[in-house]
Amino acid sequence: DEGSNDILLSLDCPRFPFPRYWLLTRNDADKNDYTALVMNLIKLYKNVDVPLSLVKNIVSFEINNAYVTRRYCHRRKLRRYPLGQLKEKVKKFPWDSFLQEVVGNDTGIIIDDNTKVLLRSFDYLKYMASLRNPPKEGRAVNYIGWRIFYFYGPLAFPALRSKITEFRSLKLNESHIEEWKKCLFITNDVMPIGMGRVYVEAMTRMKTLFAVQELVSKVIFSFKYMLSQAMWLDSEAKVNASNYLTKLNTMVGIPKWVADDNTLDRYYESFTFDITKDAFFTMFDLATQHTAKYRFLPLFQQFSNQFFRSHYRLGRLVVDNRTNNDDLLKGINMRPLHSFIFPGHIADLYLHRYNMRQALVFDVNENALLLPAGLLQPPYFDPNVPLAINYGGLGVLILHDMVREFFRFFFDDTDARWRKRTRCINNKVFRKTEEASGSLDENQEHEVVTFTMMTVRAAYNAYHYALGTDDDDIVPGGSVESNPDQLFMLSTVRTLCSIVRDRNFALVERRERYASPTVKSR
């Protein structure tokens, strides 16, 4: 709530040096090759022979961890719990001291049972807690050492980097990543705020931002109209839904404080180094420490809740010579979700390091829609293409999240009125004539079909609201030119397919700056 000083810590499931699907589907030859890679890399660094049994334990530990993660974490949502509940479920782990050390003992935070944590699975954390017991503890320590070495080693030793690149190219069919992109990856990891600013200034134009704002307004209007016509909603619910959407907080681009030079300078004020003397690892370490501190510290040093909230809520954070650095950063971070987007994703999206959709957020609890600058590019949005492509792209993306979250959390369907009235849609699609069984799988299937059709309908209406009485452009296609509605549907299908692809963890890869996206096969 507005006056809350609560913090939220995420205890998410891990990622792996190599994709989890590869670890789970590899054959014996792949496993042997991976074992040989680990051994050769460690040997190349330490210049001594490494016991084969130790390397096999590292690889086996990682594969087993991949299986456990697949079982307990796959497709499970992050949910919020008080730390006290986690301690009751997973008892054999010192959660208080562990989390206190993570956030720092000099931050003024006291971790207690009321501290909120995000997690996907108690079972996975039970597994992690069991690793503190011998002999698992020794294997876990060796594996952590391997992960640290795998991350830092290629940054300093070209020989390690070339071997890893060769292996990933052979086993994962990965194309070679240019050195300048690797440099950007590293910089973005340790200076996400600065990288976000650089990307936006280089790639985003005011024309794009205005066009997106117009698209968002049409999408929201279309969704409101759809709700007003819903037969399964009573009049009071329709009014509440309309009022809720009217107050929707929308953020497009980057936070205004990131675009302010004075504020950004103060954010990096304590990050100092001598580029002519300091080694790469010195600068990397300093940047890492700064990022870790200022991602957490300002959230916790809320010794006063009187900092001018209107400044950051209205995007007018005032900075002068009398502004204390702690107060400044506290003001930046004491914010509702909609007033800030984590800029780290901005550069990541441009370089296609992650799935492009990950940064789009509709938070129904805070009634906030976040559209970071990295998302405002092909294949989802381009101000210079026909409107049909943009509404079938970004419009469908927005509504896909909005429709689901809005219906699941805003409306009470305890009487199954909505499900009963929309059952005919599901039956038509799957050509069913029998009565519904009411099973969990069938209900989920029903939600997917109905929500998808509502998404497409609302996006289509928004597209025609945007057109008004004008005609949209058409795109030549062979001997027959597609009409605007066909173009909208093609763009919609592509977007929906990308959502399915993202859900199954297949990445979108762009080999050239202006190349069309291609799906990387597995």
- Average pLDDT, stretch 240-259? 80
Q: Where among 128, 155, 176 does a domain terminate? A: 176
Predicted confidence at residue 410, as pLDDT, reads 65
Q: Where among 176, 197, 221 does a domain terminate? A: 176
Separation of alpha carbons 352 and 178, rounded Å: 13
Residue 57 reports pLDDT greater than 90: yes
Percent of the chain, pLDDT > 90?
Answer: 23
Residue 512 reports pLDDT greater than 60: no
Residue 340 lies in a domain: yes
Q: Judging by DSSP bridges, how do beta strands 116-119 and 368-372 pair with one another? A: unpaired
Picking from 93-107, 212-226, 287-301, 489-503, which range would have the lowest pLDDT averaged per residue? 287-301
pLDDT-based confidence at 441, cuts 50/70/90?
A: low
Residue 483 reports pLDDT greater than 90: no
Separation of alpha carbons 228 and 474, rounded Å: 32
Separation of alpha carbons 108 and 300, rounded Å: 7
- Average pLDDT, stretch 297-323? 35
| Chain centroid to CA 81 | 20
One domain for residues 238 and 116: no
- Average pLDDT, stretch 410-427? 68
- Average pLDDT, stretch 441-467? 83
Residue 422 lies in a domain: yes
Higher confidence at residue 416 or residue 148? 148
CA quadruple 317, 318, 321, 326: dihedral, nearest 10 = -40
Higher confidence at residue 139 or residue 307? 139
Separation of alpha carbons 307 and 324, rounded Å: 11
- Which among 339, 315, 209 has a CA at the least distance from the CA of 263? 315
DSSP 80: E
Residue with tokens 């509440």: 240
pLDDT-based confidence at 416, cuts 50/70/90?
A: low
One domain for residues 216 and 113: no
Count of structural domains within the chain: 2
Picking from 380-394, 399-413, 445-459, 463-477, which range would have the lowest pLDDT averaged per residue? 463-477
Residue 131 reports pLDDT greater than 80: yes
Predicted confidence at residue 109, as pLDDT, reads 72
Q: Which two tokens stand for residue 317?
A: 């954070």
User: pLDDT tens digits for 39-51?
Assistant: 999 998 888 888 9
| Chain centroid to CA 452 | 21
One domain for residues 230 and 99: no
Contact assessment for residue 16 and residue 62, using Cβ atoms and an 8 Å cutoff: yes
Predicted confidence at residue 14, as pLDDT, reads 87
SS3 at position 496: helix
Residue 83 lies in a domain: yes
What is the CATH number for 400? 3.40.390.10
One domain for residues 158 and 51: yes
- Average pLDDT, stretch 242-249? 87
Residue 17 lies in a domain: yes
One domain for residues 224 and 353: yes
> The domain containing residue 401 runs over which residues?
205-255+332-514
Residue 514 reports pLDDT greater than 60: no
∠ Cα 508 510 516 (to 5°): 100
Query: Within 13 A of 385's CA, how many CA atoms are on the CB side?
Result: 21
Q: Which residues contact 218 (CB under 8 A, 6 or more apart)?
A: 391, 395, 462, 463, 465, 466
Indicate yes or no: pTM above 0.85: no
E strands, 286-379, in order: 361-363, 368-372
Helix 136-156 and helix 158-172: axis angle, to 10°?
A: 110
Helix 136-156 and helix 280-300: axis angle, to 10°?
A: 120
One domain for residues 149 and 238: no
CA quadruple 387, 389, 392, 393: dihedral, nearest 10 = -110
pLDDT-based confidence at 511, cuts 50/70/90?
A: very low
Residue 95 reports pLDDT greater than 90: yes
Average pLDDT, the chain: 75
Residue with tokens 């979700």: 337
Highest average pLDDT, of 39-48, 481-490, 500-509, comes from 39-48
Separation of alpha carbons 453 and 447, rounded Å: 10
Percent of the chain, pLDDT > 70?
Answer: 71
Residue 189 lies in a domain: no
Predicted confidence at residue 407, as pLDDT, reads 77
∠ Cα 452 456 460 (to 5°): 170
Separation of alpha carbons 31 and 37, rounded Å: 10
Higher confidence at residue 256 or residue 465? 465
Q: Which residues contact 163 (CB under 8 A, 6 or more apart)?
A: 37, 40, 41, 44
Q: Where among 130, 159, 176 does a domain terminate? A: 176
Q: Using the Cα atoms of residue 341, residue 360, residue 66 and residue 183 in order, give the sign of their dihedral.
A: negative
Residue 286 lies in a domain: no
Contact assessment for residue 311 and residue 260, using Cβ atoms and an 8 Å cutoff: no
One domain for residues 159 and 232: no
One domain for residues 232 and 161: no
What is the CATH number for 124? 1.10.1380.10
One domain for residues 214 and 358: yes
Higher confidence at residue 474 or residue 257? 257
One domain for residues 487 and 414: yes
Predicted confidence at residue 472, as pLDDT, reads 64
Residue 195 reports pLDDT greater than 50: yes
∠ Cα 190 196 197 (to 5°): 120
Residue 236 reports pLDDT greater than 60: yes
pLDDT-based confidence at 1, cuts 50/70/90?
A: very low
- Which among 405, 401, 379, 381 has a CA at the least distance from the CA of 391? 381
CA dist 425 to 23, 261, 319, 402, 431, Å? 40, 53, 56, 20, 10
Residue 459 reports pLDDT greater than 90: yes
One domain for residues 229 and 82: no
DSSP string of 7-44, one letter each residue:
-EEEEPPPP-SS-HHHHHH--HHHHHHHHHHHHHHHHH
Q: Which two tokens stand for residue 522?
A: 């597995």
Separation of alpha carbons 219 and 221, rounded Å: 5
Predicted confidence at residue 4, as pLDDT, reads 41
Separation of alpha carbons 12 and 127, rounded Å: 13
One domain for residues 394 and 454: yes
Residue 212 lies in a domain: yes
Strands of the sheet with 8-11, listed across from one edge: 8-11, 116-119, 79-82
pLDDT-based confidence at 268, cuts 50/70/90?
A: confident
Predicted confidence at residue 262, as pLDDT, reads 84
Residue 90 lies in a domain: yes
Separation of alpha carbons 96 and 118, rounded Å: 15
